[in-house]
Amino acid sequence: MMRLSRRHVLAILAAGTALVFAPEAQAQKPIKIGSFLSITGPASFLGDPEAKTLRLYVDKINKEGGILGRQLELVIYDSAGDAKQATTFARRLIEEDEVDIIIGGSTTGETMAVVPIVMEEEIPFISLAGANVIVEPVKKWVFKMPHSDRMAVEKAYEDMKKRNLTNVAIIGGSGGYDQSCRKEAHAVAPKWGIKIVADETYAPTDTDMSPQLTKIKNTPGVQAIFGCGFGAPTSITARNWSQLGMTNISFYFNHGVASQQFIDGAGGGAEGIRLPVPALLVAEQLPPGDPQREVSLNYIKAYREAYNQPVSGFGGHAYDGLHIALEAIKRAGGTDKAKVRDEIEKTTRFIGTDGIYNMSPEDHMGLSLDSFKMVEVRNNTWKLIE
Amino acid sequence: MGDRAQKSLFDLSVARKVQGTAKHSPHAPLSATEAAPGGDGAVRTVGAWLFSARTGGVLLLAAIVAILPLFLPNKFYFDVAIKTALHAIVCVGLNLLIGYAGQISLGHAGFFALGGYASAILTARFGWPGLVAMLAGAVGVGVLAFLVARPILRLKGHYLAMATLGLGIIISIIINREIPLTGGPDGMSVPALWVGPWRLTGPITWYWISGVTLVLAVWLALNLVESPMGRALRALHGSEVAAETTGIDVTRYKVLVFVVSAVFASIAGSLFAHAERFMTPVEAGFLRSIEFVTMVVLGGMASIFGSVVGAAILTALPQVLAVFHDFKHLALGAILIAVMIFMPKGLVPTLAALWRRRVG
């Protein structure tokens, strides 16, 4: 929560002083942005950079004079990846804090639990979670930022198809993130002419994936492996894959592993692995004409300066969500909820860190497959291919 | 604990036979001891009846449920109240098991989630009517609890805790894995509850549903506690061997109370699913089970109203502490530790004892 920070106390004092001297300033109520994110708990790898990004840019925009001459006020609650807490916080944001828009929901479960509430209360809601179910079917008040799991899978399948790899084995953990990805990997396989010939699962706490990989190795006809997951198990899987001498079978991952920790954790075993990543991760390698290059480089710089930490793609979702919301508020000329919703839906050619957004009444996400960049691990870093 | 329970048991029966007051009953923290001061015998009997936990306490709870909406400024507070009531129902059932029978369960979130998912799956995927689905869930959970209770309740202490923990984790894994049925870790949407022609949605409707169910649950639990079964439970809590020698079928009562508490959790879970219109496997998680046990212990073991208070505090406190943001968990932990150090018997029994000492 921002309310207790010293800066805000000062801001309130300053506002009070301003009120005394300039009564006309009274009309300028701040624009209130509400958020609930998994800042702690198992999904904190999503919520933490998202919260940091929102704070960073709200402060930055306020220093530059705000939007429409109004300051921004950010209210963030930590829902800890728990749908039950998320619904309570969503009610709180709407009823108690009376926010103008909600940007949040790090996980699909939290987002979907909140959907009935925002539909009933008619408030624009931009989700930062992955699954397609959030915007399919389209829900009037619900938008979502990042690429979906399905798009990551499709991007990988597209690349496999280019290389004539059609017999695919899936390997992934039993956790929520992995399962969402696996579900999509099965669902869209026929569309791309991919045949799933094996599907192996490990527990999130496993420290050796050799048994699963050996099974895949012994499955006749496997041409490529698609991995679903994030964190330590994925590094171990990559290491085992090279240790078992399976590098003749191409290995793809979903975008969950798009962090330097993955490569470092694999200890050299990740060489040659391909995955789709948001442009943010390969910003320096983008050709100078690429529209996403500048946005991404600016975000990386600002985040590093503020927190002295490398960026993660997840923080980028929050960057996109916040800016799409603010652009819509600008175009709507205020915070009227219905108008802001209409304007979000009209978002066209918005260049974010995750890609170029073109929303429509039929598409409340607005990204296409092009927004993913295919990379390969080479010399312990990401190399843009294509 | 056993001694106290036995003593209060004695007090209660005396209170009913002789025209005394329920002055010394720890189960009647709300029994106003100024009941009909100086009145004649008949009035005193009525007073004792009215101010016993079973009638006076339930009436007071019903009054609180009825009046509370006047003080709830918006739907956010209703939302917290609904979750409090549903948690309280689970805790009232769980307290029968922990506080009265002296058995521990670290798997009650599993029963809660099973009830919720039974409602969710049967209504969403098979088109069953909501109330039938809820009933089916409760019966199913009851049968499951019955089947596992006999082997599990042969275990004692740590082993029992481990077994119930395992049961909860198995339920959690199944819900996470059966993606076509449960939607897996992303959760599943639940249709609104239809009762006849009425579609029950919105926090205010659900406030009344969960509030009334809570009053019913408390009333049921208090009746159970003061029935021969309740006495048997407390006896076996005191000493299983002693209870057995007095002719109490220890196993039967343990199984029965385990089933009852599981069914309470299942019903609360079903109501939760329809109130939230969404279920996630987090509800079946180990941490949820721990939360329920914490609510019971914080409120006071062997105190039905303590469970309600414990549930209310642990549901509302995180909302109060949310303003401290990063220090939220620290503050919550500190408060829990402080209560356990200074009030090891739990809030309600300790405060009730203080009150009695001051008055009497």
- Burial (0-12, 13-18, 19+ Cβ within 10 Å), B117: buried
Separation between Cα atoms, residue A158 and residue B206, nearest integer Å: 48
Q: What is the pLDDT of residue B8?
A: 42
Probe site for chain A from B282, B321, B326 (most A CB atoms < 10 A): B282
Count how many Cα atoms sit within 13 Å of the Cα of residue A357 in the half-sphere of its side chain. Answer: 28
Decide if pLDDT at A75 tops 50: yes
By three-state DSSP, how is residue A374 classified?
A: strand
Q: How far is A94 from chain B (nearest CA, A)?
A: 8
- What backbone torsions phi and psi does residue A10 show, to the nearest 5 degrees? -60, -45
Neighbours of A189 (CB within 10 A): 19
Q: How far is B283 from chain A (nearest CA, A)?
A: 8
Residues of chain B with pLDDT under 70: 1-44, 46-51, 53, 360
Closest CA to B120 of B171, B187, B206, B174: B187
- What backbone torsions phi and psi does residue A41 show, to the nearest 5 degrees? 90, -175
Q: What Å distances lie between residue B191 and A89, B121, B194, CA to CA?
A: 22, 10, 9
Separation between Cα atoms, residue A282 and residue A279, nearest integer Å: 6
For chain B, the farthest-separated pair of C-alpha atoms sits apart, in whole angstroms, at: 68
At the fourth CATH level, which superfamily is domain A2-148+296-369? Response regulator (3.40.50.2300)
A149-283+372-384: what CATH class? alpha beta
Range A227-244 average pLDDT: 92
Domain range summary for chain A, segments of one domain joined by +: 2-148+296-369, 149-283+372-384
Per the listing, tokens 């991952």 go with A253
Q: What is the pLDDT of residue B218?
A: 95
| Option in A83, A174, A177 nearest B187 (CB) | A83
Q: What is the pLDDT of residues A147-180, one digit of tens each?
A: 888 999 999 999 999 999 999 999 998 877 788 8
Model ipTM value: 0.79
Per the listing, tokens 């914490």 go with B294
Nearby residues of B182 by Cβ (< 8 Å), 6 or more positions away: B117, B120, B121, B175, B176, B188, B279, B281
Q: What Å distances lie between residue A223 and A146, A157, A193, A217, A228, CA to CA?
A: 29, 12, 13, 10, 17
Neighbours of B133 (CB within 10 A): 26
Q: Are strands A350-351 and A356-357 parallel, antiparallel or unpaired?
A: antiparallel
The tokens describing A30, both together, are 């701040």
CB-CB under 8 Å, A109 with B187: yes
Whole-prediction pTM value? 0.82
Closest CA to B130 of B349, B311, B277: B277
Nearest CA in chain A to B173: A174
Q: What is the pLDDT of residue B9?
A: 37
| Option in A87, A116, A179 nearest B79 (CB) | A87
Indicate the average pLDDT of chain A.
89
Closest CA to A219 of A243, A240, A249: A249
